[in-house]
Amino acid sequence: MGRIKMLLGAVCLALATVANAGALENEFHGDFTAQFDVSNFNRTPTTDYNAAGGGYYDPTGVKKNQNASNFIEQRALLHYSAKADSVLKLVTAFELNYAYWGNGSNDAGSGSGGATGTDFINFITKNVYLDYSPHENINLKLGMMPNNDSFKGVLFDTDMAGVLVSGKYGRLSQSVGFFRLEDKGADKDLVVGLSTKDMFMLDSKVQISPGLKVGAAYYFFRDGTPDGTTNTVVAAVPDRIITVNDVYGNQYPVTLPGTGSPAVTTPNYNDIRMHVLGLNAEYVLNRVTLNGFAIYETGTSNNRTTSAFAGNLGAKIKKGVGLIRVEFLYVSGDRPGSSTSGAFYNVPGSSGGHGYLANEMTMIGRDKNALMSNNSLVFNADNRGQGQIGGYLGYDRPFTPAFDMSFNVGFVAAAEDNAAKPFIYNDGIISDIKNGSKFLGSELNAEANYKVRDDLKLSARTGYAILGEYYKGVALHDPPMNVYDVKLLVKYNF
């Protein structure tokens, strides 16, 4: 620990020396959010603590009535930029999380190195990258950076390591990049660079007219990381004890060694090569803005051909001082018995971070205010290979310069029935029967924001979701109860 302190001290001294010489401009900013949550949805056995995990709501095999959770979580984002001049700077961002008050973060003192010590478990490096503009129309980013697709986060919206070159030429803007999303070589092959998950991207936009912008993008995903399964190379053979006689005829045991246990296994690897082609557009006419996209995916996923589609239509209509929002999203799913998979591919696993937030939902879709507890009925665009069909309507209304509200309603259904649908329970015993409905549920929510001052905001957000027939009977004895979530937030920007 002493060496770390010495190193940090040396870095700070070097930065201070350069800054005093007038060669470096330092910029600090960030935000702090504390959030009180009361819910029978978040931090319950149906979400954070269900058997499946992964953020999806899953009431399978749990009791119908869930006790309401109540907890406070907090997050601080710290941004630091070291600006050499107008064209070159180092950009960093750090995240300090506290999952919820009382979660052991005070069990270990500062610098103790304990498993729950605040110096270690709560600190995350989000961004460290160089931002260089060698020409007024060209920008280069190198390192761990935020990156999002051109399709409202359906594919990805997260931090990733790579290189991104962007250019603007009149009405045309274009980006090309390569990103390494995951590397499991050190864990599985002892050769870094073999078991990787990579992405190549090419994104272009053209301003056709002052009110019309169209774009096209191509992404190529290659995934060769372990898929979580193993293949037995040598079966486990236990030691065997036999009885033999010595030269005097006395019996004694002899152990014949086996191969040991467990069996010798090797990991199985993904073989995913996915081509993604998409078009997007935005059209502004007076008080109406129309936008949308269409995505087609083709390739192979572990020896199965994929042909998948996603489409979106959105509108924003200014009505008086308010704003009406309309969103529709369709994502194809995998149809049982089909030789070609219709399951939509988005960046999976630890590389994820994608999320369709334009619907402004709190439970049937991802909540924009989610911190460490991030759950929903439809957690990822692919919806566990089932796809989705969703429609959403919202209204934003400012009442004073300091106070505004928004109201949202939406529904969502699975696009296809497949193995991901849960079995129902009869008298507390699981059956081999599934519901015939694809309807997941509908939600109504409202949000109020009050600006105490320019840098401090108070918010309240409440939602109630009515579960669809998709979930009927999947709890132990009855359909699971409808779910709700109430959040109170304090946010400080600096």
- This prediction's pTM: 0.85
> Which DSSP helix (H) or strand (E) runs through 178?
strand 172-183
Cα 148 to Cα 389: distance, rounded to the nearest angstrom: 22
Burial of 267 (0-12, 13-18, 19+ CB in 10 A): middle
Q: What is the pLDDT of residue 53?
A: 63
pLDDT digits (tens, 9 = 90+) for 109-120: 333 333 333 344
Check if the beta carbon of residue 327 is closer than 8 Å to that of residue 361: no
User: Which of the four pLDDT bands, split at 50, 70 and 90, describes residue 264?
Assistant: low
From 397-406, 408-417, 426-435, the region with the lowest mean pLDDT: 426-435
Cα 85 to Cα 130: distance, rounded to the nearest angstrom: 12
DSSP, collapsed to helix, strand or coil, labels residue 14 as helix
Q: What is the pLDDT of residue 11?
A: 42
Query: What is the rounded average pLDDT of the residues 254-259?
Result: 76
The answer, yes or no, to whether residue 12 has pLDDT greater than 80, is: no
Distant-in-sequence, close-in-space partners of 472: CB < 8 Å, separation ≥ 6: 424, 435, 437, 479
Q: What is the percentage of the chain residues whose pLDDT exceeds 90?
A: 65
Residue 262 DSSP class: S
Q: What is the pLDDT of residue 9?
A: 45
Tell me the average pLDDT of the chain.
Answer: 87
Q: What is the pLDDT of residue 102?
A: 87
Q: What is the pLDDT of residue 352?
A: 56
The answer, yes or no, to whether residue 15 has pLDDT greater than 50, is: no
pLDDT digits (tens, 9 = 90+) for 124-147: 899 999 999 999 999 999 999 999
Cα 150 to Cα 168: distance, rounded to the nearest angstrom: 16
From 31-35, 246-250, 333-337, 489-493, the region with the lowest mean pLDDT: 246-250
pLDDT digits (tens, 9 = 90+) for 289-322: 999 999 999 999 998 999 999 999 999 999 999 9
- Nearest-CA neighbor of 469 among 429, 435, 422? 435
Cα 277 to Cα 310: distance, rounded to the nearest angstrom: 11
Q: What is the pLDDT of residue 258?
A: 73
Q: What tokens does 358 get?
A: 């334009």
Query: What is the rounded average pLDDT of the residues 66-89?
Result: 94
pLDDT digits (tens, 9 = 90+) for 342-394: 999 988 654 456 679 999 999 999 999 999 888 999 999 999 999 999 999 99
- In this structure, the number of other CB atoms found within 10 A of the CB of residue 491 comes to 17
The answer, yes or no, to whether residue 469 has pLDDT greater than 90, is: yes
Cα 462 to Cα 487: distance, rounded to the nearest angstrom: 6
Q: What is the percentage of the chain residues whose pLDDT exceeds 70?
A: 87
pLDDT digits (tens, 9 = 90+) for 27-58: 999 999 999 999 999 999 999 888 766 689 99
Domains of the chain: 30-225+270-493 (2.40.160.100), 232-265 (no CATH)
Cα 204–chain centre separation:
25
Q: What is the pLDDT of residue 156?
A: 92
Cα 292 to Cα 151: distance, rounded to the nearest angstrom: 8
Q: What is the DSSP string of 47-102?
A: TTTSSS-TTB---TTS-SSPPPEEEEEEEEEEEEEEE-SSSEEEEEEEEEEESSTT
